[in-house]
Chains A and B, each alone.
Chain A
Amino acid sequence: MSGRAVLLVARQELRIRLRTGRWRWLLAAWVVVVGVFTLLTDLALRASNDTIYEGATEPPSIGPALFTVLVLVVFGLIMVVSPALTAQSVNGDRERGTLAVLQVTRLRPAEIAVGKLLAGWGVGVGALLLTLPFAVWPVVYGGVGAWRIPVVYLVMIVLLGVVCAVSQALSSLVVRGVTSTMLAYATVFALCVGTLILYGLMGAAFTQERTVVLDEGDGGTFTYVERSPSENIWWVLAPNPFVVLIDASPTAPERPRDQGDVAYDQDPLKDLHGAIRSTRVGPGVDRRDAPAVWPYGLAANLLLGVGSVLVTIRRLRAPVAALPRGVRIA
């Protein structure tokens, strides 16, 4: 696979994409929507941020809360948009008769597959990077930490690429563009919502009643009943893109606090992060020691993405011995 050939295909594909449709208007609308959303969330958080803990002289920062809401909403929108980016990249070209003439050039199937993927992915990454200024906004309030932005954006870009790769593989497997687009959306839905439903159902189906007795240190004990066997089924949640994103985001550094003069910040991202990790430990274990979920989830997603690219390459190979039903080469 030559880098030059991949870039040739990507450039060509990108040029065609940018000349069809009103990309400038779409991107402008996207920036306006995210901007207005950030502004309104900011105002809403300010309005409700009047609780100052006793002894605190400085109100908590709304930065972490704003950052959490913004990142989750932007990522949600990206997950909604991304299947469409490559869902017709192979079968659409087949329909227009432009794929076969590409296949008979000296471009290799891998160069065509990766080049086309880069073009679709690139459009998504562009849309994502346009939201960066709004992500910097809450950081200015403090309490978010400098590492969150690069890590969160990097993970979003990788997961976006996985969705693009899966959609592209579907477009190479399915003859009709409408069908492959629907399947791409179904896949994203299964990853984002299906895993949650499955986790909930499995937790309920395999309920184990375990009585946990905690020593409170002062001689007294605290007793509760744990029902979910979460430490056995946490892996069902792991491939969820939102779980990967939240769990991978670094926790904000503790703000220097002298005798409680600063109130605790509301940081939903940190809370969610803790909730996700706590699924890995059984009852009675200190949840602060719970190991990370994201390496497994990210690995599963990368496997899915790489597998999808390999499927696409395979489907672009010619000459072919067997034609699936309804496929017309040219």
Chain B
Amino acid sequence: MCLDDARYALRVPEEPDGDVMVQASADSDVGIWVRGVTRRFGTAEALRGIDLSAPYGRITALVGPNGAGKTTLLLILATLLTPTAGQVRVAGLDPVADPDGVRSRTGWMPDALGVYEQLTPREYLAFFAEAYRIEPALVADRVAALLARVHLAEHADQPVHVLSRGQKQRLGLARALVHEPRVLLLDEPAAGLDPRSRSELRDLLRELAASGVAILVSSHILAELEELADRVVFVAEGRTVSEEEIAGVSRFVVSGWRVRALDDAALATALAARGIAPLGITAAGSDLPPMSDVDAAALLASLVGDGVPVIAFGPIGGQLEAAYLALNKERR
């Protein structure tokens, strides 16, 4: 991302809206509930206070720069690391006190593929099905259904090492789903996927969410998350910075806008007349400074009213990207 941060601004809401934040307690029916979690590695603090909820039936995005603690948090949720302090509930259970209970209800897909190259996808999934103590009689059917679901049926009996990265990624997802978990943890699932695989992944995750699974996805591909996720949790330097509904993001983020007209000169004149100085002019259009949705709509109406032949007018980047960059700018 080489966007200029000047085009984004953060408008922090004066008071938090009660209906935007999920008001959840440990025993309520959220898939993941995290309060005040810290994690220290020696003297380094990876997590300094994470709060997060991921309700059942919804997809929650975990967004933050590299080193923000996303993977560390997922390792804690996946029962591999203990938190130094704070409370964690996954599927209503404490991962430290009852790791086995959490494991039986949680699917985890790490960013490393972690597949055995010498096995076939069918053997690989059958092994994990048994490792999750699925009735041996049910394993073959479960594996066949999963392979069809992630579009690997035709590669089911080829060794894993001939699969493409995207196919391996889907195999990893199938492994995370092998025991029909209620909670799904995905670390950068879309990394290395081509656009078609990405849209298939999106459809699959939406389907799972619709069936009541709580899904937590960490990713850097913000435009992708914006289409996929219902909720977003921003983390930076080991802290939760903000926890929002995707629909609510636009309420506190004002992004820059890009406008393009058939007649560049007429556009420039009209903008100058309104006292708006473009931050930059490229072939894609003129980039305008941040303004709210309402102001942008008014500007567009008045430009069109003045006869400027506008052919494109929209926010620069996505809302999530705008929020992400604005949050990063705040911290500097």
B291 in contact (CB, < 8 A): no
In the bound complex, do residue B112 and residue A97 qualify as a contact, i.e. CB atoms below 8 Å apart?
yes
In angstroms, Cα B71 to Cα A320, docked, is 15
A8 in contact (CB, < 8 A): yes
Chain B neighbourhood of A16, CB < 8 A:
116, 118-119
Q: Restricting to B84-127, which residues have a CB under 8 Å from any CB of A?
A: 95-96, 99-100, 103-104, 106, 108, 110-116, 118-119, 123, 127
The count of residues in chain A whose C-beta lies closer than 8 Å to any C-beta of chain B is 26
Known: A12-B116, A104-B106, A104-B108. 19 other contacts (CB 8 A): A15-B123, A16-B116, A96-B114, A101-B128, A102-B131, A104-B78, A104-B79, A106-B100, A106-B104, A106-B132, A318-B81, A319-B79, A319-B81, A319-B95, A320-B80, A320-B81, A330-B71, A330-B112, A330-B114
The count of residues in chain B whose C-beta lies closer than 8 Å to any C-beta of chain A is 34
Q: A319-B76, A319-B95 are in contact. Are A101 and B82 (CB under 8 A)?
A: no
Chain B neighbourhood of A320, CB < 8 A:
80-82
In angstroms, Cα B161 to Cα A16, docked, is 13
Chain A neighbourhood of B108, CB < 8 A:
101, 104
In angstroms, Cα B96 to Cα A170, docked, is 26
Annotate A99-128 by CB proximity to B: 1 below 8 A, 0 otherwise: 011111111000000000000000000000
Residue of B nearest to A323 (CB): B41
Chain B neighbourhood of A106, CB < 8 A:
100, 103-104, 131-133
Query: What residues of chain B have their CB less than 8 Å away from a CB belonging to chain A?
Result: 41, 71, 75-76, 78-82, 95-96, 99-100, 103-104, 106, 108, 110-116, 118-119, 123, 127-128, 130-133, 175
A180 to chain B, nearest CB (A): 20
A186 to chain B, nearest CB (A): 29
Residue of A nearest to B81 (CB): A319
Residue of A nearest to B42 (CB): A325
B41 to chain A, nearest CB (A): 6
Residue of B nearest to A18 (CB): B118
In the bound complex, do residue B79 and residue A97 qualify as a contact, i.e. CB atoms below 8 Å apart?
no
Query: What residues of chain A have their CB less than 8 Å away from a CB belonging to chain B?
Result: 5, 8-9, 12, 15-16, 19-20, 96-98, 100-107, 318-321, 323, 329-330
Q: A103-B80, A329-B81, A330-B112 are in contact. Are A8 and B118 (CB under 8 A)?
A: no
Which of A15, A19, A101, A321 lies in contact with B110, CB distance below 8 A?
Answer: A101
In the bound complex, do residue A100 and residue B80 qualify as a contact, i.e. CB atoms below 8 Å apart?
yes
In angstroms, Cα B76 to Cα A5, docked, is 25
In the bound complex, do residue A8 and residue B131 qualify as a contact, i.e. CB atoms below 8 Å apart?
yes
Which of B76, B80, B118, B123 lies in contact with A20, CB distance below 8 A?
Answer: B118
In angstroms, Cα B134 to Cα A5, docked, is 12
Which of B76, B80, B116 lies in contact with A104, CB distance below 8 A?
Answer: B80
